A and B are shown apart, each in its own frame.
Chain A
Amino acid sequence: MDRQLFHGMLKDMLLARSFEERAAQEYSAGNIAGFLHLYPGEEAVAVGVIHAADQSDYIVSTYREHVHAMVRGVPPRAVMAELFGKLDGCSKGMGGSMHLFDRERRFMGGYAIVGETYPVAIGLGYAIAMQRLPEAVICFFGDGAVNQGTFHESLNMAALWKLPVLFVCENNHYQIGTEIHRHSAVSDVYQRACGYDIPAHKVNGMDVLEVHAKTGEALQRIREGTGPQLLEMETYRFRGHSVSDPGSYRPRVEVDAFRQRDPIKQAEREAQSLYPDAQQLSAVGADHIQLFSAHLQQQDLINEQEIVKLQQQVDSIVEDAVQFAQQSPQPDMQQAWDALNCNRADEVLI
Chain B
Amino acid sequence: MVEQVTYYQALNRALDEAMAVDDTVFTLGEDVGLYGGSYRVTEGLYARYGAWRVRDTPISEGSFTGLGVGAALIGMRPVVEIMTVNFALLALDAIINMAAKIPFMSGGQFPMPLVVRMPGGVAKQLAAQHSQRLEHTLMNVAGIRIAVPSTPQDAYWQLQQAIRSNEPIVLLEHELLYFSKAELDTVQPAIPMHRAVVRRSGSDITLISYSRTAILAQQAAQQLAEQGIDAEVIDLRSLRPIDWQTCIDSVNKTHHVLIIEEDSVYAGAGAEIAAQLAERCFYILDAPVARHGGLDMPTPYNGQLEALSIPTLDSIAQAASKVLEGEAE
Contacts and interface: CB of A to CB of B under 8 A. Distances in A.
A339 B57 contact: no
Nearest to B72: A123
Contacts of A124: 70-71, 73-74
Interface stretch (B115-123, B192-200, B257-265, B269-277): B192-200
A159 to B, nearest CB: 11
A157 B58 contact: yes
Interface string A118-157: 1111111111011000000000000000000110011011
B73 A343 contact: no
Contacts of B166: 343-345, 347
Nearest to A99: B105
A227 interface: no
B194 A350 contact: yes
Contact of A122 (B63, B110, B142): B63
Contact of B107 (A95, A150, A154, A343): A95
A350 B71 contact: no
Contacts, number: 161
A76 interface: no
A101 B109 contact: yes
B63 A150 contact: yes
Interface residues of B, number: 52
A278 interface: no
B248 interface: no
Interface in B191-236: 192-195
A94 B106 contact: yes
Given A123-B72, A344-B167, A349-B194, A154 B105 contact: no
A95 B105 contact: yes
A113 B108 CA distance: 20
Interface in B111-135: 111-113
Contacts of A89: 107
A254 interface: no
Nearest to A128: B74
Interface string B72-92: 111110100000000000000
Contacts of B71: 123-124, 126-127
A160 interface: yes
B192 A339 contact: no
A348 interface: yes
A286 interface: no
A116 interface: yes
B106 A91 contact: yes
Interface in A95-122: 95, 99, 101-103, 108-109, 111, 113, 116, 118-122
A123 B243 CA distance: 34
B93 interface: yes
A342 interface: yes
B105 A94 contact: yes
Contacts of A109: 102, 105-106
B104 A160 contact: no
Nearest to A123: B70
Contact of A153 (B58, B76, B104, B194): B58
Contacts of A120: 66, 69-70, 73, 98
Interface in A211-250: none
Interface residues of A, number: 50
Nearest to B194: A349
A118 B63 CA distance: 8
A342 B66 contact: no
Contacts of A111: 98
Nearest to B145: A349
A312 B98 CA distance: 40
Contacts of B76: 126-127, 130
B83 to A, nearest CB: 15
B194 A342 contact: no
A92 interface: yes
Contact of A130 (B53, B62, B66, B110): B53
A87 B63 CA distance: 33
Nearest to A110: B105
A103 B110 contact: yes
Interface of B: 26, 52-53, 55, 57-58, 60, 62-76, 78, 93-94, 97-98, 102-113, 142-143, 145, 165-167, 192-195, 241, 243, 245
26 contacts: A91-B106, A92-B107, A95-B105, A101-B109, A109-B106, A119-B62, A119-B63, A119-B69, A119-B70, A120-B69, A122-B63, A122-B66, A124-B70, A124-B74, A127-B70, A127-B74, A130-B26, A157-B58, A340-B103, A340-B108, A340-B143, A342-B110, A343-B103, A347-B166, A349-B194, A350-B192
Given A101-B107, A344-B167, 9 more contacts: A101-B109, A101-B110, A126-B67, A126-B70, A127-B70, A157-B64, A342-B109, A343-B103, A345-B166
Interface of A: 58, 60, 89-95, 99, 101-103, 108-109, 111, 113, 116, 118-127, 129-130, 149-150, 153-154, 156-157, 160-161, 336, 338-340, 342-345, 347-350
Nearest 8 CB-CB pairs, A to B? A123-B70, A119-B66, A92-B107, A342-B108, A153-B63, A101-B106, A153-B60, A343-B166
